Amino acid sequence: MSSVPTDFDIVILGAGPVGQSCALLLALHWSDPARIAIVDAKPAADSARDPRTLALSYGSRQLLERIHAWPQDVVTPIETIHISHRGHFGRTLIRHDEYGLPALGYTASYGALLAALQTRLEASGIDIRRPVKATACTEADDGVRIDTDHGPLTAQLAIHAEGGLFGQPSDADVQRDFAQQAIVSVVQCDRAQTHTAFERFTAQGPLALLPVQQGYALVWCCAPERAHTLRSCPEAEFLAALQNEFGQRVGRFAAVAARHAFPLGMNVHATLTQGRSVRIGNAAQTLHPVAGQGLNLGLRDALTLVNALEQSPSPEQALQEYTKQRQLDRGVTSQATGLLARLFVGNPWATAALAGAGLTLLDLAPTLKKPLAQQMMFGQR
């Protein structure tokens, strides 16, 4: 009877989309799949029940296609993004054909993306350990030791990809509570605009409608007290409130699925590496969902790390290069999403009016709009 391996080149802590994508990239470019382990405390079935809809940039599609995990049959393309501010003139449109791309981005359910990744992972030869809880990660000779509730593992490198929602315990250097919660659900309307996503800024926070195969995925950010009311009120009352906030651009809202609420904030780690341990994805930063950049930023973390490992003569030099290369993209994305989350909230009329004028100017000036679109699709490169 063969013994269970306990020594690896790399152990990845966290089997969410970023951790699994990183494992598959490593197997493709850097290491024997059998020398990679991925550890997660949750059973796979628990993770697949996450109710959120994900916004995937065009750059994320390219990465997922590289590892043969693009869920083509269950994604919905976003060809136009409509940005507006409730109660004020001004709006901007970002269209895919302005950039010569088939789509600006895509939507997929969390479960559908995980299913595509897990299918690839199970066929790859990567060692999957779940449910297994990591209890400590410490430096050891020429590597790291990961203690788990199923015994210790050793590796040359530990990649922290675990993480979750804002509000969970964190030792991040920057921690900001936006005093908002997100109501997430799926809504039906009678005049859907196929392949158009809406980002509407309101006095309490942004409201997004993302096209999915069955209507629109809703992400409605508002004060916690209002979120509690919206989550528990009768369906007709909820739909009337949504209609009042969003207006008539997609006609009448007719139905809403189960409603869930999540706290919103931002955690950002200034230091990404310590010894032979490195952070990516939500282990490195947790962002506000405005503009849907969190997962896309995490996937860029994974790709940059794997490229650095492939091109550097030692893990230490690879981690130094990873830190240097991620500084600009992480800084721009975290600051931009933080600004957008707060920009219109509680602002006086004059500031809000200027913001509305800014949306009009953005729509009229391609030289201003292009950097915004490029950041959303590909990040800072």
As a whole number of angstroms, the distance between CA 232 and CA 243 comes to 17
66 within domain boundaries? no
Q: What is the pLDDT along the chain (381 residues), one digit of tens a residue?
A: 457 889 999 999 999 999 999 999 999 988 899 999 999 999 888 777 787 899 999 999 999 999 999 999 999 999 999 988 776 656 788 899 988 899 999 999 999 999 999 999 999 999 999 999 999 999 988 899 999 999 999 999 999 999 766 556 677 888 888 889 999 999 999 998 889 999 988 888 889 999 998 899 999 999 999 999 999 999 999 999 999 999 999 999 999 999 999 999 899 999 999 999 999 999 999 998 877 889 999 999 999 999 999 999 999 999 999 999 999 999 988 888 887 777 656 554 434 444 444 444 445 445 555 666 666 666 665
324 within domain boundaries? yes
As a whole number of angstroms, the distance between CA 378 and CA 33 comes to 28
Give the ranges where 247-348 is alpha helix by DSSP (H): 294-311, 315-343
- Strand intervals (E) in 86-152: 91-95, 105-109, 127-129, 134-140, 143-148
As a whole number of angstroms, the distance between CA 296 and CA 294 comes to 6
169-203 in b/e form (b: 16+ CB < 10 A) is ebebeeebebebbbbbbbbbbeeebebbbbbbbbe
Residues 6 or more apart from 26 whose CB is under 8 A from it? 10, 36, 306, 309
Q: What is the pTM of this model?
A: 0.90
240 within domain boundaries? no
Overall domain count for the chain: 1
Domain that holds residue 295: 7-55+109-172+267-343
323 within domain boundaries? yes
140 within domain boundaries? yes
What pLDDT was estimated at residue 317? 96
CATH value at residue 142: 3.50.50.60
143 within domain boundaries? yes
46 within domain boundaries? yes
Task: Say if residues 24 and 120 touch (Cβ distance below 8 Å).
Answer: yes
244 within domain boundaries? no
